[in-house]
């Protein structure tokens, strides 16, 4: 097989503040415009997902970089660089298949959201389908099994989503997943939701949602609150078991902590086993 050279753009960054430091490749793409949009989003949020700035913060931004530094020495720096990479035909094929999968996942997500927005899908079902990796995997597999040249793409997508969604019921397992999602929604000092969740508007007290769970979970909401149902949750990076964050402020954004990596973690950085 003949190797091919391609030009890749890489969005990467490094950051440090009083609580954490990190270095990471954030995105890789042949499309420079996509990475510039991601960089602009980081700049718009003042890199809040990576650092907490204190006092006066100085910002610098160009077409391919963004930097922010505070008066206490905390900083975050992000750059887009370009790299000429030589890839074999087999690797190119794998990349193409992965990209097709990513694009299809986005199409599925948009279709599910459209159904929810127009009232064609119950809020709990949307929350589960839109966030469960297992459900997305089932839809992708079903799509592959249904796909043929005689059926329109959108029709196959709709049929795959309909088939998978029709097999989902509000079981204890699903309720446990949704309860975990609720735990990631930030609340204010009065216990009211800051963000929307499962059809409930921001500002509703979480106890009102607890009542919804209590009416449907076989063992009652107290069992969920005590966490007795939970399986072991591990870090996606190192595979070590993570702990639930106990700090009141930190857990609003980082509900878990990995002792091995010594880092606070988002929910998507962990998985249940």
Q: How confident is the model at residue 35 (pLDDT cuts 50, 70, 90)?
A: very high
CB 244 within 8 A of CB 216: no
Give the residue from 166, 167, 164, 179 showing the smallest Cα distance to 216.
179
Domain ranges of the chain: 4-87, 89-166, 172-272
The pLDDT value recorded for residue 208 is: 92
* Residue pLDDT, tens place only, 73-117: 889 999 999 988 887 777 767 767 677 777 888 899 999 999 999
Angle at 236 between CA 131 and CA 30, to 5 degrees: 75
264 within 8 A of 272, measured Cβ to Cβ: no
**Confidence at residue 54, expressed as pLDDT on a 0 to 100 scale:** 83
Measured CA to CA, the distance from residue 147 to residue 135 in angstroms comes to: 18
CB 28 within 8 A of CB 101: no
Q: Is the dihedral of CA 31, 33, 39, 44 positive or negative?
A: negative
Strand partners, 93: none
Q: What is the pLDDT of residues 185-227, one digit of tens each?
A: 888 888 899 989 999 999 999 999 999 999 999 988 888 888 7
Return d(Cα 71, Cα 68) in angstroms, integer. 10
Helix (H) or strand (E) holding 80: strand 75-87
- The model's pLDDT over 227-237, given as tens digits with 9 standing for 90+, comes to 766 667 888 88
- The average confidence (pLDDT) of the chain is 87
DSSP state of 255: -
pLDDT at 28 over 70: yes
For the chain, what is the largest distance between any 2 Cα atoms, rounded to a whole number of angstroms?
63
d(CA 20, CA 205): 32
């Amino acid at each position: 097989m003949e190797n091919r050279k391609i030009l890749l753009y890489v969005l990467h960054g490094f950051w440090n503040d009083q609580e954490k430091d990190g270095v990471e490749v954030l995105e890789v793409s042949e499309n420079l415009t996509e990475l510039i949009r991601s960089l602009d989003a980081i700049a718009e949020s003042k890199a809040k997902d990576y650092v907490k700035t204190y006092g006066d913060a100085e910002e610098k931004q160009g077409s391919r970089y963004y930097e922010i530094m505070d008066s206490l020495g905390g900083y975050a720096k992000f750059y887009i660089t370009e790299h000429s990479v030589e890839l074999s035909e087999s690797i190119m094929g794998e990349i193409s298949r992965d990209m097709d999968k990513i694009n299809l996942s986005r199409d599925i997500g948009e279709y599910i959201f459209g159904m929810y927005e127009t009232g064609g899908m119950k809020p709990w079902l949307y929350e589960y389908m839109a966030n469960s990796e297992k459900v997305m995997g089932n839809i992708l597999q079903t799509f592959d099994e249904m796909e043929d040249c005689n059926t329109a793409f959108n029709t196959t997508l709709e049929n795959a989503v309909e088939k998978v969604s029709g097999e989902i019921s509000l079981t204890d397992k699903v309720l446990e997943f949704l309860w975990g999602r609720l735990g990631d929604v930030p609340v204010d000092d009065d216990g009211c939701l800051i963000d929307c969740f499962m059809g409930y508007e921001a500002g509703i007290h979480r106890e009102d949602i607890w009542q919804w769970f209590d009416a449907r979970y076989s063992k009652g909401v107290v069992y969920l609150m005590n966490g007795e149902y939970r399986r072991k949750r591990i870090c996606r990076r190192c595979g070590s078991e993570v702990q639930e964050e106990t700090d009141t402020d930190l857990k609003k954004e980082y509900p878990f902590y990995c002792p091995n990596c010594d880092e606070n973690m988002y929910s998507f950085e962990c998985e249940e086993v």
